[in-house]
Structure 1
Amino acid sequence: MALGLFWASVCLTIFVLILSLDIMGFLSGKNHFDVDGRAVVITGGSQGMGRGLGKLLAQKGANVVIVARNQQKLEDALKYISSAARNPQSQRFHAISADVTKHNENVRILAEVSAWNNGNPPDIVWANAGSSHPTLFIDTNIETLKDQMDINYWAATYLAHATLKAWLKPSKSETIDVKNAKHAKPRHFIMTSSTLCFAGVAGYAPYSPAKSALRSLADTLRSELNLYNGYRRTHPEEGPATDVRIHCVVPGTIKSPGLEHENSMKHPVTKLLEEGDPAQTEDEVAVAAVRGLEKGGFLITTQFLGHAMRAGALGGSPRNNWLVDTAFAWVVNLAWLFIGPDLEGKVFKHGQKHRVQLPS
């Protein structure tokens, strides 16, 4: 018995050490997300995580285009982001005011960025726009439910559709060196989802289904892109100019201008379930997200709670690290035997102790 406990403790210690090293980036090798000199588009780029991403990628040498609705916020964010440029003399920055919930606006964004980028489509597109309206399902009107799906799912879907149609055209349609196209850096399409895509939480019915759909879209597109990437290997002059990679970044709570507004409308039971959850600043979440991309990750979480939730809900998604993810999944699945009933019990007990607003 004592010997078994000893080896169990040793294995757990090794696992925690490997996990910690992996999270901190010490196990990574090649940079799979080199943005130096590349054109990057970020929707929802005027504040919060989008602004943090713009600043970080500017520091890494990228030419950054941010997209949002409010022109004044865009101009302020563009000054903030461009001031962080690693090479101010050569890097370029641009802002586009657009409503990304409309398909034709996403087509316009791609056309405007391509013209700005010397006739070529952008190298990296990050569908980051989104907002949360955390209320109970029956307390939410149908129009709000639709709006949440528009901004949190359809906006990214429209952008992915427009971007991939541009990227998957034959290489001869672009002003590139076709002979060396086989060795060109891949293009990246990234979607920002939420840890709520891993687990249902009372009070997020308007928001989390859209983020879950976004994760499913990322899984599906990752599979489909193998078709075009494979074709490119044997038809370099007919296929796309570069390989295309799909990624889904899954942050938790972010300290952003919208968080205070969200908290003001949350049901008390939602606040109870989130009690003690960690929150990240826009810079912290940007650093964690980009670090995951540089390591070559597909489904990228940005803090420990998110890592645990991801490990327990991977399904058919690829593993970023087969050893860490498999071991972590064993631990998390055991933990869910206790966590799940605890969360269910908290909601049930809240209903017992407090008056619940019923539909009239």
Structure 2
Amino acid sequence: MALGLFWATVSLCFFLTIVALDMMGFFGRKNQFDVDGRTVLITGGSQGMGRGLAKLLAQKGANVVIVARNEQKLAEALKYIASSAKDPSNQRFHSISADVTKPEENTRIITEVTEWNNGNPPDIVWANAGSAHPSLFIETPLETLRSQMDINYWAAAYLAHETLKLWIKPTFGKTSATETAKPRHFLITSSVACFAGLTGYSPYSVAKSALRSLADNLRQEINLYNGYRKGHPSKGPSADVKIHCVCPGTILSLGFEHEEQIKHPATKILEEGDPRQSEDEVASAAVKALEKGEYLVTTQFLGHAMKAGMMGGSPRSSPLVETLLTWAASVFWLFEGPKMDGKIFEYGQKNEVELPE
């Protein structure tokens, strides 16, 4: 028994050492999100996380196209992004004013970017547009519930539909290009709100949960075309396609300042102590994970823990680490879930609550 305990201890120590080394990045990986010289399209790119992403990718050598509604904000953001270019003489930058909640506008965006990119579709498309309207479900007008789905779900779904149709078109005989082409990436910005219910976020988190589900479905479906390309190189798409879902937490931005003004006090109680990131910090964390080849990306520790508890059939970025986090998250929710429920019950018990007439 003593010998068995000894080897069990040795095995556990070895396992924990491997986990620690993996977390510290000792197991080097090839960059699986190389943007140097490639064309990147980012919706919601005039401010917040989108602007931070565009700036960072410009620093890494990408040609960047940003999309938003406000032309003045676009012009200011484009100047800011271009000033960060890795190689200003060879990189190009462009902006498009569009309403991404309309399907025909997404068609126009992809067409315009393709023309601007010398007849080639963008290599990387990031469906990042979105906004939060945190409020209690029954206090939210129906038109707001619909508009939250439009900007947070349908805008990404429309863009994905238009982009993927273009990317999987057959190449007909371009075998050599097909074999050596870098993969294309379609990215969806969801939120940690897709991992757990939170009082006051019903209008927003439902749409973000739908995005996570869309990404899971697309990730598996796209393997059909990637497999066809492998088996029929002279007839398949010109490059493999990879799908990613990025789930940030609280981002310090103008949007967040607006949310704080309309957010229910009970929601603020639940969010006390949550980590917050600047647009540059969230962009850096997201891109670093993508360079490692991650599919479901979170950008800070609370998000990592929330993701681990809700992985389902999604592929693990680091099987050892996330398996341990899954166990830890399960234990965490045994205590935190009732605690959060209790905070909301207590708020209702001690404060006036508006009821519908």
State if a TM-score over 0.5 links the two structures.
yes
Native 8 Å contact 1:15 1:327 kept in 2: no
Q: Which moved more, 1:47-56 or 1:178-187?
A: 178-187
Identity %: 67
- Alpha-carbon distance in 2 for matches of 1:148, 1:19: 40
Match runs of 1:151-190 below 5 Å: 151-172=151-172, 178-190=175-187
Is 2:44 aligned against 1:47? no
Is 2:233 aligned against 1:236? yes
Candidates 251, 255, 266, aligned match of 2:263 = 266
Quote the residue 2:37 is aligned against: 37
The secondary structure found in structure 1 opposite 2:29 is coil
- Alpha-carbon distance in 1 for matches of 2:27, 2:38: 26
Gaps of 5+ in 2: 1-5
CA shift in 2, pair 1:88/1:20, >3 Å: farther
Aligned residues: 355
Quote the residue 1:329 is aligned against: 326
Match runs of 1:296-307 below 5 Å: 296-307=293-304
Deviations 1:46-74 (A, max 9, x none): 00000000000000000000000000000
Native 8 Å contact 2:247 2:297 kept in 1: yes
1:87, CA displacement in angstroms?
Answer: 0.5
Is 2:265 aligned against 1:256? no
CA shift in 2, pair 1:85/1:12, >3 Å: farther
Quote the residue 1:91 is aligned against: 91
Quote the residue 2:345 is aligned against: 348
- Alpha-carbon distance in 2 for matches of 1:254, 1:210: 18
RMSD: 2.3
CA shift in 2, pair 1:13/1:352, >3 Å: farther
Deviations 1:62-114 (A, max 9, x none): 00000000000000000000000001000000000000000000010000000
CA shift in 2, pair 1:9/1:54, >3 Å: farther
Candidates 273, 290, 294, aligned match of 2:291 = 294
Quote the residue 2:129 is aligned against: 129
Native 8 Å contact 2:68 2:99 kept in 1: yes
The amino acid across from 2:243 in the alignment is: I
Match runs of 1:5-84 below 5 Å: 22=22, 25-84=25-84
Gaps of 5+ in 1: 1-5
Q: Given the two structures, how large is their TM-score scaled by the length of structure 1?
A: 0.94
Deviations 1:187-245 (A, max 9, x none): 00000000000000000010000000000000000000010000000111210000000
Native 8 Å contact 2:19 2:320 kept in 1: no
1:20, CA displacement in angstroms?
Answer: 6.3
CA shift in 2, pair 1:70/1:24, >3 Å: farther
Deviations 1:251-290 (A, max 9, x none): 0000011111100001010000000000000000000000
The secondary structure found in structure 2 opposite 1:206 is helix
Candidates 249, 274, 280, aligned match of 1:283 = 280
CA shift in 2, pair 1:7/1:191, >3 Å: farther
1:184, CA displacement in angstroms?
Answer: 1.0
CA shift in 2, pair 1:10/1:45, >3 Å: farther
Quote the residue 2:192 is aligned against: 195
Q: Given the two structures, how large is their TM-score scaled by the length of structure 2?
A: 0.95
CA shift in 2, pair 1:14/1:352, >3 Å: farther
The secondary structure found in structure 1 opposite 2:111 is helix
Native 8 Å contact 2:177 2:238 kept in 1: no
- Alpha-carbon distance in 2 for matches of 1:265, 1:15: 47
Native 8 Å contact 1:18 1:324 kept in 2: no
Quote the residue 2:3 is aligned against: none
Native 8 Å contact 2:199 2:267 kept in 1: yes
- Alpha-carbon distance in 2 for matches of 1:18, 1:255: 35
1:171, CA displacement in angstroms?
Answer: 1.8
1:181, CA displacement in angstroms?
Answer: 1.5
Native 8 Å contact 2:23 2:321 kept in 1: no
